[in-house]
Amino acid sequence: SPRGSVPHAQRAVSPLRVPPHPHHRSARTDPALARSPPRPPEGRRMPSTTTQIPRPRKGEGQWGLGYSEPLNKNEQSKKDDNPLNVAARIEHIYAKRGFDSIDPADLRGRFRWLGLYTQRAEGFDGGRTATVPEEDLDARFFMMRVRTDGALLSAHALRTLGEIGRDHARDTADVTDRENIQYHWIQIEDVPTIWSRLDEAGLTTMEACGDSPRPFLGSPVAGVSSEEIIDGTPALEEIKRRYIGDEKFANLPRKFKTALTGHPGHDVSPETNDVAFVGSMHPEHGPGFDLWVGGGLSTNPKLTHKLGVWIPLAEVPDVWAGVASVFRDYGYRRLRSRARLKFLLADWGPEKFREVLENEYLDAPMVSLPSPPSPVGHRDHIGVHEQKDGRRYVGVAPVVGRVSGTMLVALADLVEEFGLDGARLTPYQKIVLLGAEPDRVDDLLDALEGIGLSGRPSNWRRNTMACTGIQFCKLAIVDTKNRARDLIAELEQRFPELSTDDLGGGITINVNGCPNACARTQVADIGLKGQLVTKDGEQVEGFQVHLGGETGLHANFGRKLRAHKVASSDLGDYVASVVSAYLADRQPEERFAQ
Ligand code: SF4
């Protein structure tokens, strides 16, 4: 039983033992945590007699069913040492002694819990990944993710993020589709300085990667939208305060993605997250959140199951912890490829999941919701929109999230100059500025255009995303960011007059460098999955195309058309022909995905 598992302190540990990071809570530094053994999970009750947990035919490595021995090297690594302990080693050893001093188990494993991956070594090209050992792909530089969790970034925070990009990351500072800022070219020697600068601005890299609660998606217009059902900001802040960096959820079976929105447009892509809280109105109880669980893309894509419940704002953190606990205790740990919550949901179904959540982890049953919420209105917030206080918010589009440190510093200047409240990042690699005075909006739009952020973007710039790709990602097969940038320019030339409205709400294009679908391949109108394709008898960079995917009211996966494999060099011609065919046959109001 997991209750009889070896206490953490008695397990084998890395030989590198140093004092803990001052900002890191661990069982060694926090007496409250010391009273909470990592297994069994705190707060879990024994299954009630009415809860029938089907025991898998073969052990899936579920702690809750007694499979406590690590069944693969990732699980062994997490058992060997709490991944959060690596913060102290970075600060006290690796940053002082340099890259070559880093324990490989930390370098390619536990560093992720602090938002650090080694980036792809320069010079590797598409197709070689499968045959090249991982250590040969590693550059001596890191990619670093900073989580924002839907928070409003002040001018000071934006300036800090920009200056770090300029000073330590060769002026990189991409906006990701999980509302992160992602740097490249980080050197280990600079990490403590970066952490301290981020800390001073209220930001962190804690659990930005790893088998942990990844950065949260929050509505970019929370608290200001006149359409909003409920502002979920306090719940997100509380979940972060209680659980990020807490040992309780630092060893999950795999990544755990959270989204929360009270906006009726469901502007955080809730269907593709492990857990999502979606604003809903109960006829008797008023505004609250429905609970959706078990979404995720990658190679076995699944959309969330809607539990059809009503959760008041104050109870969201407890319910979130309950869902995370179900995942921790019952998630499949034997195979990494089955270790996401979506596989548990596929086997249990939503009714069983709700039963286990309520019976073992919550104090009381959840209230049922007569009808789950359906999305209405826009989701990306691009352009100028009225706030509930009469001021305006302005959504702007960098090109596929490619932002620089210099651009963020310039943005901080504009936030001050125009007296704005700040900025939020979006799940579509965009930025929303809050609190513009109506009579200064035109000047603001011009100023933003001047620094490379368009509030009046073409459909192609507005609706195209790209993942990190081969420039920096070790898993990539093809280039994405540069390819997508060129595609946008080409489509703007070929279809200069087409607006997002002309295209039935827009045609989305998501460019991914491999099957992992970090830029959500399967839910774009035109989803592109990087792979090698054959052209003129040669293996070249290209994409498998998925057509007609959506989130929202008609959430569905795009169809993978086996015949639609396109070389990167032919991508412009391919997309132009698909769009032309759609426009030629389109009925009034017909969406691309129909
Ligand atoms: Fe890397 Fe693949 Fe994710 Fe793109 S989709 S960032 S290539 S892992």
pLDDT band, residue 497 (cuts 50/70/90)? confident
What's the average model confidence in pLDDT over 579-585? Answer: 90
What's the average model confidence in pLDDT over 112-124? Answer: 87
Query: Which residues have C-beta within 8 Å of that of residue 141, sequence separation ≥ 6?
Result: 118, 119, 184, 185, 186, 187
Instruction: List the structure tokens of 536.
Output: 């003129």
Could you tell me the sign of the dihedral formed by the alpha carbons of 469, 459, 154, 240, in that order?
negative
Does the Cβ of 475 fall within 6 Å of ligand 1? yes
Does the Cβ of 398 fall within 6 Å of ligand 1? no
Q: Tell me how far CA of residue 406 lies from CA of 58, 134, 145, 193, in angstroms.
A: 54, 33, 18, 19
What's the average model confidence in pLDDT over 211-225? Answer: 98
pLDDT tens by residue, 89-107: 999 999 999 999 999 999 9
Please state, in angstroms and rounded to a whole number, the distance separating the CA atoms of residues 27 and 13.
14
Site to substitute for ligand 1 among 297, 475, 521, most atoms within 8 A of C-beta = 475
pLDDT band, residue 504 (cuts 50/70/90)? confident
Range of lowest pLDDT (122-131, 156-165, 493-502): 122-131
Closest CA to 511 of 536, 538, 535, 477: 477
Does the Cβ of 425 fall within 6 Å of ligand 1? no
Does the Cβ of 143 fall within 6 Å of ligand 1? no
What is the pLDDT, as a whole number, of residue 41? Answer: 47
Q: Which residue has the higher pLDDT, 583 or 294?
A: 294
pLDDT band, residue 47 (cuts 50/70/90)? low
End-to-end CA gap in the chain:
50
What's the average model confidence in pLDDT over 539-566? Answer: 92
Please name the residue that has the structure tokens 């460019």: 511
Pair 142, 118: CB distance under 8 Å: yes
What is the pLDDT, as a whole number, of residue 48? Answer: 52
Distance 120 CA to ligand 1 centre (A): 12
Please state, in angstroms and rounded to a whole number, the distance separating the CA atoms of residues 69 and 241.
31
What is the pLDDT, as a whole number, of residue 34? Answer: 31
Please state, in angstroms and rounded to a whole number, the distance separating the CA atoms of residues 413 and 115.
27
What is the pLDDT, as a whole number, of residue 498? Answer: 82
What's the average model confidence in pLDDT over 32-57? Answer: 48
Distance 143 CA to ligand 1 centre (A): 13
Q: Is a pLDDT exceeding 70 seen at residue 254?
A: yes
Does the Cβ of 516 fall within 6 Å of ligand 1? yes
Q: Is a pLDDT exceeding 60 seen at residue 433?
A: yes
ipTM above 0.95, yes or no: yes
Closest CA to 579 of 490, 514, 511: 490
Pair 156, 203: CB distance under 8 Å: no
What is the pLDDT, as a whole number, of residue 375? Answer: 85
Range of lowest pLDDT (89-93, 359-363, 371-375, 480-484): 371-375
pLDDT band, residue 56 (cuts 50/70/90)? low
Does the Cβ of 476 fall within 6 Å of ligand 1? yes
Pair 562, 547: CB distance under 8 Å: no
- Any bridge partners for residue 527, and if so which? 510, 546
Does the Cβ of 401 fall within 6 Å of ligand 1? no
Does the Cβ of 126 fall within 6 Å of ligand 1? no
Does the Cβ of 512 fall within 6 Å of ligand 1? yes
Q: What is the DSSP string of 194-260?
A: HHHHHHHTT-B-TTSSSSSBPPPEE-TTTTTBTT-S---HHHHHHHHHHHTT-GGGSS-SS-B-EEE
Does the Cβ of 473 fall within 6 Å of ligand 1? yes
Does the Cβ of 244 fall within 6 Å of ligand 1? no
Instruction: List the structure tokens of 127.
Output: 């197709």
Q: b/e map of 232-268 (b: 16 or more CB within 10 Å)?
A: bbebbbbbbeebbbbbbbbbbbbbbbbbbbbbbbbbb
Pair 173, 160: CB distance under 8 Å: no
Please state, in angstroms and rounded to a whole number, the distance separating the CA atoms of residues 379 and 19.
46
Closest CA to 78 of 42, 105, 55: 105
Does the Cβ of 272 fall within 6 Å of ligand 1? no
Please state, in angstroms and rounded to a whole number, the distance separating the CA atoms of residues 538 and 493.
29
- Residue 252, phi then psi, degrees to nearest 5: -95, 165
Most confident of 24-38, 205-219, 375-389, 494-508: 205-219
Does the Cβ of 293 fall within 6 Å of ligand 1? no
- C-alpha 272, offset from chain centre: 10
pLDDT band, residue 156 (cuts 50/70/90)? very high
What's the average model confidence in pLDDT over 422-433? Answer: 98
Query: Which residues have C-beta within 8 Å of that of residue 331, sequence separation ≥ 6?
Result: 62, 252, 253, 254, 339, 340, 341, 344
Report the share of the chain in percent with pLDDT over 70: 89
Q: Which residue has the higher pLDDT, 69 or 432?
A: 432
Please state, in angstroms and rounded to a whole number, the distance separating the CA atoms of residues 375 and 546.
23
Could you tell me the sign of the dihedral formed by the alpha carbons of 396, 399, 400, 403, in that order?
negative
Please tell me the residue having the least CA distance from ligand 1 atom 2.
514
What is the pLDDT, as a whole number, of residue 552? Answer: 87
Instruction: List the structure tokens of 376.
Output: 């209405």
Distance 473 CA to ligand 1 centre (A): 6
Does the Cβ of 469 fall within 6 Å of ligand 1? yes
Which amino acid does the sequence have at 540? V
pLDDT tens by residue, 377-418: 778 999 999 999 999 999 999 999 999 999 999 999 999 999
Does the Cβ of 527 fall within 6 Å of ligand 1? no
- DSSP secondary structure letter of residue 133: -
Q: Is a pLDDT exceeding 60 seen at residue 130?
A: no
Q: Is a pLDDT exceeding 90 seen at residue 58?
A: no
Indicate which atom in ligand 1 lies nearest the CA of residue 513.
Answer: 7
pLDDT band, residue 248 (cuts 50/70/90)? very high
Distance 512 CA to ligand 1 centre (A): 6
What's the average model confidence in pLDDT over 318-325? Answer: 98
What is the pLDDT, as a whole number, of residue 50? Answer: 54
Site to substitute for ligand 1 among 516, 528, 532, most atoms within 8 A of C-beta = 516
Indicate which atom in ligand 1 lies nearest the CA of residue 474.
Answer: 1
Q: What is the mean pLDDT of the chain?
A: 89
What's the average model confidence in pLDDT over 268-272? Answer: 96
- C-alpha 580, offset from chain centre: 33
Please tell me the residue having the least CA distance from ligand 1 atom 3.
518
Instruction: List the structure tokens of 349.
Output: 């179904």
